[in-house]
Chains A and B, each alone.
Chain A
């Protein structure tokens, strides 16, 4: 444990996880927004929009996140000169957020779409039979039931997003996994405690999150 009593290392450890949380938070918000928009496009009656939504999902879901993040750095930043912030650190951070959100939005879109699909067709038919309009059907009958069934998949997407945030270390954000790599190289005599502390922190963050979402999903589930 002597590694973490050194304030320099302890600060690196804290700031590493702070980056992870910042990456997760910003990307979760953006991915949720974009994913719901994509899902709306995929179920819309306009074929062009459906095509765009399907293309997005198929492209981003099937490309490794490492490649997407590298593309954001070398493509958007180095080649096309996209500058998202003044300082290099913050710029890399936002490039990582762009990559993470584009990737995660594909999964959010699919979760929302299959959530809408779990609502039995009879619900929409009954709503239409009593004379509700399209927006009313969606707002009063379908979405309230669909939102409850996407809680569980959203939980796993959020957990995966938090773990995926480590990949942004590839483009120079000193997040937890990069800190751990440096500490391992500097302290060859304490590799197991270092790994256990970093892995344990992730487990302590994510296992309760998983149980929380499981509990919420159970509580909110529509009993059929």
Chain B
């Protein structure tokens, strides 16, 4: 019993016994379930050595998985930089005092948040070539799609961050004679970015996961190279899918852990109010569910 929650009494002998019994019962059930899955895979011949030995050969990694991983990280890195820029510009635009800036900026942000990313990627990859009379590389279809969608989500995050700051911040800045652009750049943005850092990082995790949509337009990223092309050579699609899933989970868990660390670091400094006491001690180090759960996609 690691959680020191107020929902339960400190367990007495009977409660301890009961939770031990339940623990054993569920553990047995879990083992049985895992065994059943194992034997199903076994019956389908999925544990045969020929399906798994490719992963011990250097060629598998240097020809398929690592180039795929590189393409994934390239698309994610370019997408992250562009969507941060997009988010900043449209957050400021939406907060503008001129309606002819704030209304279009708001409409664009709302529109791109409501349209599925895949639809945008399809339009850029299959539709835009008709308009520009030339092919669009899959890389740019993925990156531009990621930028428009995640940039819009980030714009809302930045805007919420700026609006959560006390009004005295900008009033004081105007009082000492700063211009509008200075107030935004020197006073509001740095504080908003810090307050919203965990949400920004978890949106970047979403962006990294969304690069997997590149598979659908044949961009040679991790899913395309590591699962599709690898399995075409060795006929081990399930084994390959599991290995690739583990790679995604490790990378994203690292990013999520980073978000959690940033959250703890920023929440202990500055003037942010102390958090309310929580009912349940959280088991993992992940940030509060709300930050990552707000915009699951792809």
The interface of chain A, by Cβ under 8 A from chain B, is: 42-43, 45-50, 52, 54, 58-59, 61-67, 70-71, 74-75, 78-81, 103-104, 107, 109-111, 113-114, 116-122, 124-125, 128, 134, 137-138, 142, 153, 156-157, 159-160, 163-164, 166-167, 169-170, 176-177, 180-181, 184-185, 188-189, 191-192, 194-195, 198-199, 202-203, 206-207, 210
Contacts of A63 in B (CB 8 A): 209, 245, 248-249
Whether B119 and A67, one on each chain, are in contact in the complex, defined by CB atoms closer than 8 angstroms, is no
- Using A113-B289, A203-B115 as known contacts, list a sample of 14 further A-B pairs with CB atoms less than 8 Å apart, ordered by residue number in A: A45-B11, A47-B1, A58-B286, A62-B209, A62-B256, A64-B209, A70-B241, A110-B290, A116-B279, A124-B7, A167-B216, A191-B123, A192-B131, A199-B111
Whether B252 and A121, one on each chain, are in contact in the complex, defined by CB atoms closer than 8 angstroms, is no
**Chain B: minimal CB distance from A111 (Å):** 5
Contacts of B6 in A (CB 8 A): 121, 124-125, 128
Contacts of A188 in B (CB 8 A): 130
A-B contact pairs, 17 of them (CB 8 A): A45-B8, A45-B15, A49-B26, A59-B245, A62-B205, A62-B256, A66-B216, A80-B40, A121-B276, A121-B278, A157-B296, A164-B298, A184-B130, A188-B130, A191-B123, A191-B127, A195-B123
**Chain B: minimal CB distance from A96 (Å):** 13
Whether B294 and A64, one on each chain, are in contact in the complex, defined by CB atoms closer than 8 angstroms, is no
Query: Whose C-beta in chain A lies nearest to the C-beta of B72?
Result: A64
Choice from A49, A122, A164, A194 contacting B116 with Cβ under 8 Å: A164
Query: Whose C-beta in chain B lies nearest to the C-beta of A206?
Result: B114
Q: A58-B253, A163-B117 are in contact. Are A191 and B279 (CB under 8 A)?
A: no
B192 within 8 A of A: no
Choice from B2, B131, B244, B276 contacting A67 with Cβ under 8 Å: B244
Whether B40 and A64, one on each chain, are in contact in the complex, defined by CB atoms closer than 8 angstroms, is no
The interface of chain B, by Cβ under 8 A from chain A, is: 1-3, 5-9, 11, 15, 19, 22-23, 26-27, 30, 40-41, 44, 46, 110-111, 114-120, 122-123, 126-128, 130-131, 205, 209-213, 215-216, 223, 227, 237-238, 241, 244-245, 248-249, 252-253, 256, 276-280, 282-284, 286, 288-290, 292-298
Contacts of A156 in B (CB 8 A): 293-296
Whether B294 and A80, one on each chain, are in contact in the complex, defined by CB atoms closer than 8 angstroms, is no
Contacts of B298 in A (CB 8 A): 64-66, 164, 167
Contacts of A125 in B (CB 8 A): 6
Whether B26 and A177, one on each chain, are in contact in the complex, defined by CB atoms closer than 8 angstroms, is no
Which among B5, B116, B205 has the highest number of chain A CB atoms within 10 Å? B116
Instruction: Tell me, in angstroms, the Cα distance from A206 to B115 when the chains sit together.
Output: 8
